[in-house]
Amino acid sequence: MNPRTQELGSKVIYQIYIKSYQDSDGDGMGDLRGITSRLDYLADLGVDCVWITPFFPSPQNDNGYDVSDYCAIEPLYGTMDDFEELAREARARGIEVMLDMVFNHTSTEHEWFKKALSGDPKYLAYYKFVDAAPGATADDPGKPPTNWESKFGGNAWEYVPSLNKWYLHLFDVTQADLDWDNPEVREELANVLRFWRGKGVNCFRFDVVNLISKPNVLEDDFEGDGRRFYSDGPHIHEYLQELVRLGGIDGLMTVGEMSSTSLQSCIGYSNPSNHELSMCFNFHHLKVDYDHGDKWALKDPDIDELRELFRSWQEEMAAGGGWNALFWSNHDQPRPNSRFGDTERFWYESSTLLPTATHLMRGTPYIYQGEELGQTITDFTSIDQYRDVESINYYRILQDRGCTPEEAFHIVHARSRDDGRTPMAWNDSPNAGFTTGTPWLALVGNYPTVNAQAEMADPHSVRAYFKRLIALRKAEPVIQEGDVRFVEGLEGSPIIAFWRTLGKTRLLVQCNFSGEEVGALDAEGSELLIGNYDEPSDMLRPYEARATIWR
């Protein structure tokens, strides 16, 4: 295995959603100084890198993913001095900082877009503007250029009467898509990377980066929402290679968030010979509880589909020289233990099953803040408690589709991005130690027992289990760099199982994704490496995960 892949195999990355991690000034929102104050907690956990969601200036219509200045700090989160202190203190503890770069689109408050609205031809060419049909007016702009749908609902084009043009926004209307076909745009974004490299930043995450290359011909999509035309677009590899080269980040640890991507594309993105990215996030495994592929239609997770997705992405990425970012959870996903487990009856087991599976796979594991504590989804009872623009939009859209308000709320409660954005639970004091003020988003009611202080004092806690998994990855070469092969013949079973092998060392991982006992696979002659039940058994108990090793 090449040394670069071997190095990636030993790393564990921790994601911080800055708004909800730790507030240092009592305004109810997390900030940079808050993160600095918790670095010892992260060092104790054993993580190598912290990915921090965007803290650049922003109107906060999409909680910072609508950037209005790539090279400054949003005052809500602190100052450049605060960032430099955070990076310095993190590095002193052996922790790198990963910045989150939102390069598919900017906020409509960005200076570039404001200049575009003024009619400046240089900056009009920075965005995906299309002329309206002759005779279009503010009252009757005619048909948009395509019928593509925004990720947040509604058409993906917005008409600007003063320009008689439409601009593309694959996300919120205040997030205008950049035109990467313009080399000046690509140079501007490379300059952003060079700026942060000058601040000592060595790790980058790229938001929805496989959407940056749009098709040369715009056409309606009569089979879907348009994504098949712009995902993994025609110049994507060329543009990524250029960004990496010009930005001076070749060989650094980077990850791309890949929306509706393909396995073959991700092999290309992450194979080191292509000089693009270190690894890829894909989301196919997080759609196995979408009924007919619709995020807003609920069904139980399809474990057969989940197993096959893991098998194909693990085995085929390995065969093609690609590298996976391994995760269940992030700021856009409901808490996975509530989603794939049973946190009412088997909270501990559900919260430890999931990381056992991914942390022992081939790739680089990511932990999302609070996941290591077993934090659960919200216990909100009203749509008024939500802050996420997508959730609020879909509460209305679902009712427009025929749902009752109660049905719409039930779906939003299960699917909302706010399910993963509730503040970090530090202790059992008011507001869980997150803030002395009023939290921007309400906490989950179980924080008096599910919190960092309580779990750090308990050697059998969910957090203690995560620490063991992290330590095992650093100690066991078979986890870092071993081959991977999934156990076949488990169709119809709730078990997902796979082998990791390196030389004479063999590791068997078995995970029961159900609340019922099922027969375990034969592991005679092995020793237990880790498991979430204390006593050995010939059965896999509800939500049991175990890994056994032959040396």
Mind telling me the catalytic residues?
207, 257
Closest CA to 159 of 111, 117, 123: 117
Tell me the C-alpha distance between 440 and 19, whole Å.
Answer: 8
Q: How many helices (H) and strands (E) does the chain have?
A: 18, 22
Question: First and final CA of the chain: distance in angstroms?
Answer: 20
Asked if residues 488 and 498 have their Cβ atoms less than 8 Å apart, the reply is no
Tell me the C-alpha distance between 398 and 386, whole Å.
Answer: 16
Asked if residues 415 and 383 have their Cβ atoms less than 8 Å apart, the reply is no
| Neighbour tally for 133: CB within 10 Å | 11
DSSP H or E segment with residue 123? helix 121-124
- DSSP 8-state class, residue 130: E
Q: Which residues pair with 281 in a beta bridge?
A: 257
Asked if residues 366 and 326 have their Cβ atoms less than 8 Å apart, the reply is yes
Q: What angle do CA 54, 60, 65 make, to 5 degrees?
A: 40
Tell me the C-alpha distance between 101 and 186, whole Å.
Answer: 13
Q: What angle do CA 109, 111, 116 make, to 5 degrees?
A: 95
Closest CA to 478 of 453, 509, 445: 509
Interacting residues of 551 by C-beta distance below 8 A, sequence separation 6+: 504, 505, 527
Residue 320, helix vs strand vs coil: helix
Tell me the C-alpha distance between 389 and 151, whole Å.
Answer: 11
Tell me the C-alpha distance between 70 and 110, whole Å.
Answer: 9
**Which tokens belong to 74?**
């949003």
Secondary structure (DSSP) of 483-536: EEEEPPS-TTSSEEEEEEEETTEEEEEEEE-SSS-EEPPP-TT-EEEEES-SS-
Asked if residues 441 and 418 have their Cβ atoms less than 8 Å apart, the reply is yes
